Structure formats: structure tokens, C-alpha cells
Structure 1
Amino acid sequence: MKKNLLIALSILVLIGLNGIRAGEVDTDGAVPGKWTMDLDAAKKIAKEKKIPIILNFTGSDWCGWCKLMDDNVFGKEDWKKYSKENLLMVYIDFPKDKKLVPEKYVERNDSLKNKYGVKGYPTYIVLDINGETILGRTSAGKEKTPSTFIGELSSFCQYTDSNVQKYIKKLKPIDQKAYLEIVSKLSESSTKKATHSTAITALEKKVLNLGKDIIKLQSTAQEFRVAQIGPDEIKKYQKIKDELKKTTTALQLWLKSKPQKTEENNKKYHKMNSEIMELKKQLSAY
């Protein structure tokens, strides 16, 4: 079953679908129910019309799951009817064909990916009418339909101001107050969670960069020490370093080729890994 699904997704990437196509995505301006790359315009209309925004992080020309959702959900009339009345839709694309995204959106798209901690495609994030508060996030699913996806989005929007006001009209004044207090605390906690999540993403990036800096500085310090012990040792050090780079690159390329899990390949992996560890040990002596 899993193998058949992967084959189907591969075919979809090759032949395309009836979902979102290049001509169906505006690059400027925004109207409810139509995909646009213009987030600023969508935020403005969202405030005016008091409807939320869905961000679609996609890889339009290579992502099989994205194309599956385009066909099974976004290409259907039920979805088009719903979105026209209820959503601003922003298309944040990371295609292989760079011509599909105007230059003015390339850097912004990367910034949004980092801001919302997007790790895979597609990722769908729903924002409140202020264009900032995250109401919910979801992804693709082979069983998803317009009805089920709309259900997900509706659950995200249950506590928006407009929906809360509609609900409390049915309540007694004392119950209205109690419910509004609960929703207020819920909103406060959600905002704090989003803030902390953003901070964590930023810290993870900072830690990653610091790790790279440490490796570079360790190498610089090592080379400084080597330079103090004469030309013969420098040649020996450089030879070990070159061999380590060569062996590491060979292992990475081999693993990238996704070799079969056989006893022979297992021995090959351990042999190459042992060689790398030994070369690192030799370098550490400097």
C-alpha cells in the first residue's frame, strides 16, 4: 500500500494535477477564495472583511503531497465555494523552477518559513484577522477531502472574535461573562505559546550557527598549533586532513545513493566510518 502511494505521488509530480496551477495564483492584490503571493494585501483585506488567512507553504513543481492536496482539496468546487466566503489564501512557494516566484517574494518566503518553523511541505498555517495570531496548523493527508479539511480549519477558528460573539448571543449575561473569561485565558496562553515557539526556533538556529563557528575556530586553533612545529608536520597534517575530507565525502555520497541494507554494505559502512574515526583521532593529536 505504502509503495503504491509513493508511486502515485511520483506520477502526480510528473504529470501535474487539476488543482492549483501557475495562472491561478495572483502575484499582487488579494481577494477571498483566490490564491495570492501578496501577504500584505491579504492582511489588509482580512482586517476589512474580518476573515482569517491560510498560509500554504508548498513546493509547487516537485512536492507530491502538495499536488495531492491541490487535486483532492483545493481543486474541488466545495473548497472553492467555502474559501470564497471564508478565507484569504496566501501561496508561499519553494519551487525548483525559480521563475515561478517573483524575485520580491524569494527572501520573504525564506523569512516566513523560518518565522513559522516550517520543516516540511506542505504546511498550512491559519492566521487570525490581525494577520499575526496563529489559530492552527496542519499538513497533507491522503484521505483528506474538502469536507474534512474545512472541518479542521473551522476548529482552528472556533475562538476567533467573530465566532465567539456569535456563540455568546445564545447565552445568559452571566454565562457570557464566564465564557469570555475562559476564551481570554485561552487566547493569552496561545499567544504565549506562539511567542515561545518562535523564540525556540530562533535559538535553535543560533545554536546551529554557534556550532559551526566552534568547528571553524577549533580548526583555526589546530592549524595555528601545527604551524609552530615545522614544515614536515604541516605536510603530514594536511595529508591527514585531505584524506579525512575525501573519505567523509565518499561516505556521504554513498549514503545519499540509498544503498540496500545488506551484510556487505553494512561492512562497507563500518569500514568507512572506522577510517573516518581513525583520521579524526590522528588530527586530534595536533
Structure 2
Amino acid sequence: MDQAASSAQGAQSSPVCYRHPDRETGIRCTRCERPICPECMVSASVGFQCPDCVREGSGTGHPATAAQPRTLAGGTVTADPRLLTKVLIGLNLAFFVVQRAVGDSFTERFYLIGHAYVPLFGSFEGVAEGQYYRLLTAMFLHGGYIHIAFNMLSLWWIGGPLEAALGRARYLTLYVVSGLAGSALTYLLAAPNQGSLGASGAIFGLFGATAVLMRRLNYDMRPVIALLVINLIITFGVPGIAWQAHIGGLVAGVITGYAMVHAPREHRSLIQYGTSALVLVVVVVLTVLRTSQLS
């Protein structure tokens, strides 16, 4: 009897989402008290509700039409909560196909490089020459099959649940801001002629925001911390990796992610997008500073 009671208590201490039995969660719907994961939770006036209760309305049995369902961060709940992640993966794969088809000339035109002499044309090129688009385009280029495979698997695993929790607009903002922060720190600290490319900066930003989200939901932090530690060991232990992009993306992701999930309801959008704008201001300042050094 004691053994059975202990097993039952253990099962109750780790409930799983009623729509996704493979996901443990500590959050319950405030109306029906069913366990819900970040993908299923919808922000309510008090706490969170499950999708079924949202559809049922405010307890009258009629569909809820007064307010649109919102995610944890205030984003719109969509039919496919992973759509934007799929689009980002598709864009990365499309750019990689073009890289393979066109060759180095395409990669060298769009990857991140600060200031390098091109003997063929007898001139310099890079971000310092005003090619600021490289800070963005480098986020969609990769150096080989292993590079893109690792990044896209990470994007799918981390990005999907985070997109569901934030909503598409906030998720895209986080992704772009983190990627640009990683590019800016690389431009600032790396050698001017050192090339850099990959979605790692943006993905590390998603890692950072995921850690903030899990802390916010009182989830077990050990898995994401272990994953971050492993990635940081690889970042600093494997030659040829632009650690600046990883650290810049991670820091930006933590800051932006914190604003996304902790902003008070009454000023939520202002704080979320205001914080994102401030991070972008830092990106601009770092870029201008480095350009002045190389001029």
C-alpha cells in the first residue's frame, strides 16, 4: 500500500499536458485545472487557460468573441504555432541550396566580414565599406552540411515551443535581434578579415529566451542548462567557431526574452518592443564604433 501511494504521489508531482502527454508541466488551466504546456496555454485575465476553455467562452457555453486568445507573452494564438519556425528553416535551406549551386562567389558576397582586401578587384570590401546587409544575410548562410544540419535541428527543437509561447511577431523579433547582436559582436571583436556565417547567433538567442521562459514557468532548468553548457564547451573548444556570435546572441536573447515573458500586461507591447529596440540601438552603436576603428 505504501509503495502504491508513493507511486501515485510521484505521478501527481509530474503532471503532463492533457493535449501532449509527452510533455511535463507545472501549469494548469485556471478554469478546468487540466495541465497545459507552453504551446497550449492561453493568457487569461488571471493565469492561463487551455484552448478548449478558450473556445467555450466565459462559462456561458457560447464561443468567446470579445477577446482574441493570447499566448503567454501576449501574442496571437494561431492554428499552426510552429509556422514561422518552418519558414525560417526553409529560408536557411534555400540559401544553402543556392550556396551549393552558385559556389563561393555567392557566399563571399553575403557572409559577414569586416574589412578585407580583394586582389581580384584591387579593392576592399566588408561591413566597414558600408555593406551592412552582411550583418543580416550572414545569419542565413552555412559552411557545410554538418553546420546547417546541427543548426536546423536546434532551431526546430528550440524554436517551435518558443514560437508557441511568444507568438509569431515576438518570436521573429527575438530571432532577428539575437542574430544581429551576434553579428555585431563578431564584427566588433573578430579580426577584420575573419569571415563568419551561420544561424548560431540567433539560435543561441532562442536558447537564452527558452531558459528565461522555463524559469518563468517554474520548469526544471537542468535540461536547458546542460544543453547550454554543452554548446558553450563546443563554442570555445572547437577551432573555427565564431564564439562572439554565440555570446552576443545569447546575451541579447536573455535580455529580450526576459522582457517578452515578464512584461506587465498593461504595458506589455511597449516594454517588449521597446527592449528589442534598445538592443538594436546597441547593435548600431557597436557597428558604428567598429567601422570608425577600421576607417
TM-score interval (norm. to shorter): under 0.3
TM-score by length of 1: 0.25
Q: Would you tell me which structure has more strand in proportion to its own residues?
A: 1
TM-score by length of 2: 0.24
